Structure 1
Amino acid sequence: MIRLHRVSRSYEGQIRLQADDLLLSTGLTLLVGRNGSGKSTLLRLLATADFPDAGEISYREGSPREQLPLIRSRIGYVPSDVELHEDMTPLRLLKYMCLLKGADPVQADRLLGEFELLDVNRKRIGTLSQGMQQRLAICQALLGSPRYLLLDEPLNYLDSFQRKAVTRILYRHARSCVIVVAAHELSEWNEADQLLWLDEGRPAFYGTPQLWRQTTLRVWQGILPADARTSWKEAYVMVKKPIGNNDLQWRVFGRDCPGPGFEEVGTTIEDAYFIRSRRLE
């Protein structure tokens, strides 16, 4: 577990994060919020890449003030702007990281296979695609079986097949460690154990995805001719996309059915974020 107690962090006099009391437990926590809401700041603090101005972050091993080397040895971290040694090969990089982390070198080969990088393991990292480099960055974070895995937009540059494969791997690791994932695309994370919403640097929601989806507005979906007149406020329309030649598919939020041809559908994590972040309730 990781506990934050009265933690605050400011930059240039502006508060980027303030969390009075927060407990992150084993499982995958999805971290959501607008750009500038404090997501990357929180991950940097949890990874001990930065330190709070006030308050304390404690881990199972204790406080960073007393156990910093031990805590860092239990952390895997992938920032959004991660940079790898471009002149190294994936295999050499992971073997080198194994030495630094005191991990079994066998893990390097296993992870390269798990992330489908064995066929490029002897190529220069600088020649690899961004998607391959992103998977390699996650590999190095998983070396040493970290107790805390902190990932900032880990699915960047991955295609749909790779995104599904990586999320499956992370869900499996979440059974035995604390994983915090910051993401903008939320549809891949429906199986998250917890969801943490940061709004202007403060936790505005922390709970299960099931509770997150419970909003006062319901979700309605229907198809209308493109020239049909509607009276809905634009703020309550999440999706309006062409279907066929002359129709539009609408996804609308409201307490009551918006009209004939519409039916209620299940509220997704993304729907709930749209509703909550725009204060539509």
Structure 2
Amino acid sequence: MALEIINLTKTFGAQTALNAVNISIKKNEIIGLLGRNGAGKSTLMKTIVGALNIEEGQILFDGEDITLNETSVKKKIGFLPEDNPLYKDMYVKEYLNFVAELHQIPKEKVDIIIENVEITPEKSKIISQLSKGYQQRVGIAQAILHKPDLLILDEPTNGLDPNQIIEIRNIIKEIGKEKTVILSTHLMQEVEALCTRVILIDNGNILQDCAVEEFRGKFGSLEEAFKKATTKK
């Protein structure tokens, strides 16, 4: 699996959200996508998954142009948006069965995914009754149910308590052993715990694309490195 983003540009009116972005991603990487609020992270992720149209540039997935092969490419991608848009009036297993049907996956696979993300005790509950941590697990379950080659997670631990954060990180780490993961986060500890590579975006431009150790560089922490890189001179 390879993802190639070539001169990708996206505008909203007079604002340039992505400015000629170029990124190359290979198999089995967990990439930390970093940037301030409004830097272009969510726009980039939504464009990769096809939720936003490509205005200029090109995205290739396994050599296929995603605009020419939307259905086949989307089958290979899992996505958990920041707002985790679950059908909260549905029961957990009912919802995941619905997702399996959309992907034309045998419903027997649902129980395997439920076990993998450790929500078996919650599978007969209505989603709205779950804690935010368990709702995030359901969101991850729907994103990996069809065994995608690329998993894109937008702030997957936002608003969770410390124990829930650790649990979600462990799930992501296991997924990353077999899949490629692009992870958007504001938590530098998350990058330290999960990622081998950092892509830093600011005002729609890629400022750095390097190994975590290189990004940290001479600074004592990733927080210091991030602050230095994104502070206007």
TM-score (norm 2): 0.92
1:198 is displaced (CA, Å) by 0.3
Residues 87 and 126 in structure 1, CA contact (< 8 A), matched pair in contact too: yes
Q: 1:116 to 1:173 in 2, by over 3 A?
A: closer
Aligned partner of 2:88 among 72, 83, 86:
86
SS of alignment partner, residue 67 of structure 2? helix
Equivalent position amino acid for 1:185 in 2:
L
The structure with more radius of gyration: 1
Q: Show the counterpart of 2:111.
A: 109
**1:151-186, Cα deviation, whole Å (9 max, x unpaired):** 110012322222222212212222332211110112
Equivalent position amino acid for 2:123 in 1:
N
More helix by share: 2
Q: Show the counterpart of 1:164.
A: 166
Residues 30 and 183 in structure 1, CA contact (< 8 A), matched pair in contact too: yes
CA distance in 1, matches of 2:185, 2:165: 12
| Structure 1 residues not aligned, in runs of 5+ | 219-266
Superposed counterparts of 1:133-144, under 5 Å:
133-144=135-146
Residues 134 and 156 in structure 1, CA contact (< 8 A), matched pair in contact too: no
Equivalent position amino acid for 1:73 in 2:
K
The answer to whether the aligner puts 1:74 opposite 2:27 as a matched pair is no
| Count, aligned residues | 230
Aligned partner of 1:44 among 18, 43, 46:
46
Q: Show the counterpart of 1:268.
A: 221
CA distance in 2, matches of 1:130, 1:25: 32
Q: Show the counterpart of 1:225.
A: none
**1:246-271, Cα deviation, whole Å (9 max, x unpaired):** xxxxxxxxxxxxxxxxxxxxx22223
CA distance in 2, matches of 1:157, 1:112: 22
The answer to whether the aligner puts 1:189 opposite 2:142 as a matched pair is no
Deviating more after overlay: 115-124 vs 270-279: 270-279
CA distance in 2, matches of 1:141, 1:32: 21
**1:98-143, Cα deviation, whole Å (9 max, x unpaired):** 1211334333222222333211211111222222212211111011
**1:7-62, Cα deviation, whole Å (9 max, x unpaired):** 10000221001234210222111011110000000010111111221010110050
CA distance in 1, matches of 2:188, 2:80: 18
Residues 90 and 123 in structure 1, CA contact (< 8 A), matched pair in contact too: yes
Residues 2 and 60 in structure 1, CA contact (< 8 A), matched pair in contact too: yes
- Give the RMSD, CA atoms, in angstroms: 1.7
Identity over aligned residues, as a percent? Answer: 25
Aligned partner of 1:205 among 189, 205, 208:
208
SS of alignment partner, residue 16 of structure 1? strand
CA distance in 2, matches of 1:157, 1:106: 32
CA distance in 1, matches of 2:101, 2:95: 10
CA distance in 2, matches of 1:120, 1:176: 26
SS of alignment partner, residue 68 of structure 2? helix
Q: 1:19 to 1:179 in 2, by over 3 A?
A: farther
Q: 1:154 to 1:20 in 2, by over 3 A?
A: closer
Runs of 4+ displaced beyond 3 Å = none
CA distance in 2, matches of 1:61, 1:71: 10
CA distance in 1, matches of 2:159, 2:126: 18
Q: Show the counterpart of 2:59.
A: 57
Equivalent position amino acid for 1:34 in 2:
R
TM-score (norm 1): 0.77
| Structure 2 residues not aligned, in runs of 5+ | none
CA distance in 1, matches of 2:204, 2:84: 23
Higher relative contact order (CA 8 A, sep 6+): 2
Deviating more after overlay: 33-42 vs 122-131: 122-131
1:279 is displaced (CA, Å) by 5.7
Equivalent position amino acid for 2:207 in 1:
A
Q: Show the counterpart of 2:31.
A: 29
Deviating more after overlay: 55-64 vs 201-210: 55-64
